[in-house]
Amino acid sequence: MSQEPKKRISIIAKPTHDCNLACTYCYADPTLERGNMNETTLWNMTSKSLQSYDRVDFIWHGGEPFLVPLEFYAKAVEFQKMHTGKQVTNGFQTNGTLVTDDVLDFCERYDFKIGISLDGPETINNRARMFPNGQGAFEQTISAIRKVKQRNLGNGIIVVVSKLNVDRCVNIYEFAKAEGLNLKLNPLIRSGRALQIYDEIGLEPREYGRAMVDLFDRWFYDVPTIGIDTFEELMGNLLTGVPFGCNYSQSCQNSFISVGTQGDIYPCTRFDGIHEFKLGNINTDDLNKVLESEKRQWLRDRTLRIKECLPCDYRQICNSGCMHGAYMQTGDIDKRDYYCVGYKMLFSHIRKRVEAELAKAEVKQHAV
């Protein structure tokens, strides 16, 4: 029996843009406002979103969200509970270095999930993920990951793939497998601090594609193994023909917004601080009007405008990829994702492998 569709949105909330790490490839704009989100902005973000949507998924992002005291998040829960009949989920995306027992207790008590960024084993991770004094963050991060896993608050890591580790993806996989962690691998974003060293650590799309194809085979035929969201998402997209994931969906603008420390609304956290993409401010604007604005509609219709992707076999499950990736490479969102060639290598490879396995389970149909 079908149910009435529910209106749902994910809000990437920025309680602070400050961070205690100084990762060399950070995509955040280093000139973004400092300080923490105040209670007025928190209230407006919570009440306006829950008035507009039946379900809101808050992704507490940063900077580093645990630079903000836990009392702030307790207040967030208090505000959320004032909106009855709504469904709310909460999750932190953190570097893990400030995860304490108090944080874990809080997350358990209020059902906040925790996602942690780590680039694999120490020697690989510490090439990019470090404190401002140059000390690598591996030790603190892996300690947090193990505690988070032990308490069932999260069981995966997000890895940034760059020139620093693209030839070590299988090592990263083996590390994650040994730790019993699921993986998500994101290619480097040409943005923020990463721009300063992009020529050194930036990837060619084919380089990324080759690394992912190799890793796919290592994973696909491994028993037992772990989950790799990057691949599972694509397998699901190929099998259903319906794209899932912010990179490939027909429009991420049906599902996401970002709210900054001072209430600025952007299409996605990757656009934070790029003024031409600012959609409004949660404190001063009507959220419904922002979400229905011409600017957001223009973003939402991007895929329809990109003619260069029309002949592509994978257009239906890729939708020209990430508009931020296109914008940062070309200055125009109406271009295909920078990693297009690499994605196509991976789509094609996965399709080949999946179809070969399905053929073995094929049921021969007899003519009636």
Partner 1 sequence: MPCECPKLVSYKQMVFDPEKIENPVLARVIRERLCEYPKFLHEWGDNRWADRYVDSNFAIPIVR
Q: Indicate the burial class of 75 (C-beta count within 10 angstroms; 0-12, 13-18, 19 or more).
A: middle
> Binding partner 1 by CB under 8 A: which of 1, 2, 134, 294?
2
Encoded tokens for 92: 């932190």
- The SS3 of residue 105 is helix
Of the listed pieces 3-11, 97-105, 116-124, 276-284, which binds partner 1 according to CB under 8 A?
3-11
- Least separation in angstroms between CB 223 and partner 1: 6
Total number of residues binding partner 1 (CB under 8 A)? 33
Of the listed pieces 4-12, 25-33, 176-184, 256-264, which binds partner 1 according to CB under 8 A?
4-12
Which residue, 144, 116, 139, 119, is CA-closest to 129?
119
Question: Token pair 């992002």 is at which residue?
Answer: 61
The span from the first CA to the last CA of the chain, in angstroms, equals 31
- Least separation in angstroms between CB 106 and partner 1: 28
Residue 257 CA, distance from chain mean position = 12
Distance in angstroms (rounded) separating the CA atoms of residues 43 and 49: 10
Query: What 8-state DSSP symbol labels residue 16?
Result: B
Residue 296 CB coordination number (10 Å): 20
φ, ψ of residue 23 in degrees (nearest 5): -65, 135
> Binding partner 1 by CB under 8 A: which of 1, 6, 152, 294?
6
Q: Pick between residue 5 and residue 311 the one whose CB is nearest to partner 1.
A: 5
Residues in 7-46 that interact with partner 1 by CB under 8 A: 7-8
- Least separation in angstroms between CB 164 and partner 1: 28
Q: Which residues contact 309 (CB under 8 A, 6 or more apart)?
A: 303, 315, 318, 319, 320, 336
Residues in 203-262 that interact with partner 1 by CB under 8 A: 219-225, 232, 235-236, 239-242, 244, 254-255
Q: Pick between residue 178 and residue 239 the one whose CB is nearest to partner 1.
A: 239
Q: Pick between residue 54 and residue 122 the one whose CB is nearest to partner 1.
A: 54
Q: Pick between residue 31 and residue 363 the one whose CB is nearest to partner 1.
A: 363
Q: Pick between residue 310 and residue 361 the one whose CB is nearest to partner 1.
A: 361
Site mask for partner 1 (CB under 8 A), range 322-361, x = bound: --------------------------------xx-xxxxx
Q: Which residues contact 168 (CB under 8 A, 6 or more apart)?
A: 120, 124
Of the listed pieces 1-9, 150-158, 272-280, 288-296, which binds partner 1 according to CB under 8 A?
1-9
Distance in angstroms (rounded) separating the CA atoms of residues 42 and 79: 8
- Least separation in angstroms between CB 230 and partner 1: 12
Which residue, 41, 23, 102, 8, is CA-closest to 259?
41
- Least separation in angstroms between CB 75 and partner 1: 28
Q: What element of type H or E holds 340?
A: helix 340-360
Residues in contact with partner 1 by the rule CB under 8 A: 2-3, 5-8, 219-225, 232, 235-236, 239-242, 244, 254-255, 354-355, 357-363, 365
